[in-house]
A and B are shown apart, each in its own frame.
Chain A
Amino acid sequence: MKGGLAVALGAAAIAAAPLVASTYHVLLMLPFMAYAVVLLGLNLLFGYAGLVSFGHALFIGLGAYTGAFLTTHAKIRSLEVILLTAAALGALVAVPVAAVCVRYVKIYFGMLTLAFGMVFYTFVLKFYRLTGGDEGTPFLRPSLLGRSLDAMPKIDYLVGPYYYYSLAVLALAALGMWRIVHSPFGLCLKTIRDNPAKAETLGIGVTRQRFYAFVVSAVYAAVGGALLGPPTGNVDPTLAYWTHSGSIVFMTLLGGFTSFFGPVVGAFVFIYLQSWVMSVVPYWRLIFGAMLAAIVILAPDGLMGFVTRRRPALAGRT
């Protein structure tokens, strides 16, 4: 009940932000919402299946480039078509990648995903004709629900229709993921995280469950990646670079991978903290590095850990 109230309040706050917050802060909400979609998917793999991927920038890049290619080269501007195509391509690429990666666990899984990520990065960097190389490809302003909004000033478009469109996608993504983690599939995934040998003796196909989790997380990353494009209007290879994979793992740890909304909170704090630290000192990576070390040592359950850890104590007192 309390959790439901917190989610409702959070959603209301995001919905009200364009009315009360400054344009600068509202614009920062756009990458937050895009990353939140990515992280909901990533955490199915990280928090629920116990597999840490260092290659999900591949799928973010894939989604973003899909949008850039469709708007620039294929003259398709519909965001619905872009998101669906990104999701489909994400799944298509994830199938062979997952088939290889999920046979391994721990560091071997992480390294394999990293390797696939690097292959894709090199591909987007070198296939100049298709991707524009290091300059990237423009992501032209997409139409929303069949309506072209090219006449609108860019800022109005982003803090208005595009903002609420992103929020709707995030809400749908969260609902979908909530269903997945509370499904029979989600439960079996947790058994594998906790004790794969025991799960196997119950007749649960360990690699099959991991495979599905990987593909779902890739679809989420591709959709989130496509949402990252319109605010900047350009898609470049840094989106697919491995440090970007690291950043999303950082966001997950920051918010807490043991809670459903932890990664979403992590994305929010990461984006705002990054913009603030960057405005104060030029060495934001230095500060973030120290923060990451502190989280791993002092708060392995992330920011949400403080909320969930206190709850049983309170319950015990009454």
Chain B
Amino acid sequence: MILEAVGLTKLYGEFCALDGVSIGVDAGEFVSIVGPNGAGKSTLINVLTGLTRPSAGTVRFKGRDVTGAGPAGLARLGLARSFQLVQVFPDLTVLETLQAAVVARLGRATRLFASLGRDREVQTGAREVAELFGLADKRHVPARQLPQGDKKLLDVASAFALKPEIILLDEPTSGVSTADKTTIMNTLVAASKQIGLSAIVQVEHDMDIVFAYSDRIVALHQGRVLADAPPAAILADQHVMDTVIGRRAETPRAAAC
């Protein structure tokens, strides 16, 4: 098991965003986390990637306890992420963004007097990822001038440039058109094979995408794991389908864990 979370609980004051969530991700898996708004999906991703410290529970990455290791530390260990609300460096070009990721991966961020332009490894590394994500033609365009779909791709591409072992994507296709969604997902899956990524975890609202790409689906509801099964089993489970896809979460919760 490459990534494992045991008994994750996260309280925000009285509000219990995660209530004893345990999930595991094996090498080679594509896992989707689904659930209605407020089910705790983003909190789970944030805890798994070190952005948020859990109130209780542990996160293990490659058998090592990484609870509270922080996003930078986890990125260096081989766990990368992208954000729900697209995160780019507005004034940096596509290539510069990817170069920064490669620099970070190679641990060269504190080389003050080395030449970036003459660093072959960084240059080719960034270019390869740009090509992999179909961004090569736009490599000199500043991120802020990119259309939304490309920004999203760049956000994901920069995570891939870290050559992580596992990647956690918080709604990789949110805010982009339906046509772009398929492009993004296909690019992503192709790229993950190219770089030898061993697992993908995504939070996704679009059920067509979830069922088309996932090996396993984890359904969250009110901070708890409602179901953890392959797509076929989820489709057959009427209760899960109703709760997660059919209706919104009934009432806002204020219950203690």
Contacts and interface: CB of A to CB of B under 8 A. Distances in A.
B105 interface: yes
Interface string A173-201: 00010011011111110110111011111
A183 B159 contact: no
A183 B99 CA distance: 11
Interface string B109-147: 111111111010010000000000000000000000000
B96 A187 contact: yes
A198 B109 contact: no
Interface string B69-101: 011110110001101000111111000110111
A292 interface: no
Which one of A185, A186, A188, A201 has the highest number of Cβ atoms from chain B below 10 Å of its Cβ? A201
A197 B114 CA distance: 25
Nearest to B98: A202
A212 interface: yes
A205 B71 contact: no
Nearest to B117: A182
Contacts of B115: 179, 182-183
A204 B83 contact: no
Interface residues of B, number: 41
B105 A208 contact: no
A143 interface: no
B113 A180 contact: yes
A194 B89 contact: yes
Nearest to A194: B89
A195 to B, nearest CB: 5
A201 B99 contact: no
B162 A202 contact: yes
A215 to B, nearest CB: 10
A194 B87 CA distance: 10
A107 to B, nearest CB: 22
Tell me which of A180, A199, A212, A216 has the highest count of chain B C-beta atoms within 10 A of its own C-beta.
A199
A176 B114 CA distance: 11
Nearest to A205: B72
B72 A204 contact: yes
Contacts of A209: 109-110
A188 B51 CA distance: 20
A184 B92 contact: no
Contacts of A216: 112
B75 A202 contact: yes
- Chain A contact residues, majority secondary structure: helix
Given A182-B115, A184-B116, A187-B100, A203 B92 contact: no
Contact of A185 (B92, B99, B111): B111
A202 B158 contact: yes
Interface string A148-191: 00000000000000000000000000001001101111111011
Interface string B153-195: 0010011001000000000000000000000000000000000
Given A184-B122, A187-B96, A194-B91, A201 B112 contact: no
A204 B104 contact: yes
A317 B18 CA distance: 56
Contact of B72 (A180, A184, A201): A201
A206 interface: yes
A12 to B, nearest CB: 26
Contact of B108 (A182, A184, A201): A184
Interface in A199-244: 199-206, 208-209, 212, 216
B91 A190 contact: yes
B202 to A, nearest CB: 16
B103 interface: yes
Contacts of B100: 187-188, 190-191, 199, 202, 204
Contacts of B101: 202
A212 B110 contact: yes
Contacts of A212: 110, 112
B49 interface: yes
Nearest to B111: A184
A186 to B, nearest CB: 7
Q: Which of B75, B76, B99, B103 has the most CB of A within 10 A?
A: B103
Contacts of B80: 201-202
A21 B75 CA distance: 57
Contacts of A184: 103, 108-109, 111, 114, 116, 119, 122
A195 B144 CA distance: 12
B100 to A, nearest CB: 5
Contacts of B162: 202-203
User: Which of A188, A197, A203: most chain B Cβ within 10 A?
Assistant: A203
Contact of B103 (A187, A197, A208): A187
Given A182-B117, A201-B80, 15 more contacts: A176-B113, A179-B113, A180-B113, A185-B114, A187-B99, A187-B103, A190-B100, A194-B90, A197-B71, A198-B83, A199-B89, A200-B70, A201-B159, A203-B73, A203-B76
5 contacts: A184-B122, A187-B100, A188-B103, A200-B70, A208-B110
Listed from nearest, the 5 A-B pairs whose CB atoms lie closest are: A203-B75, A194-B89, A198-B87, A203-B104, A184-B103
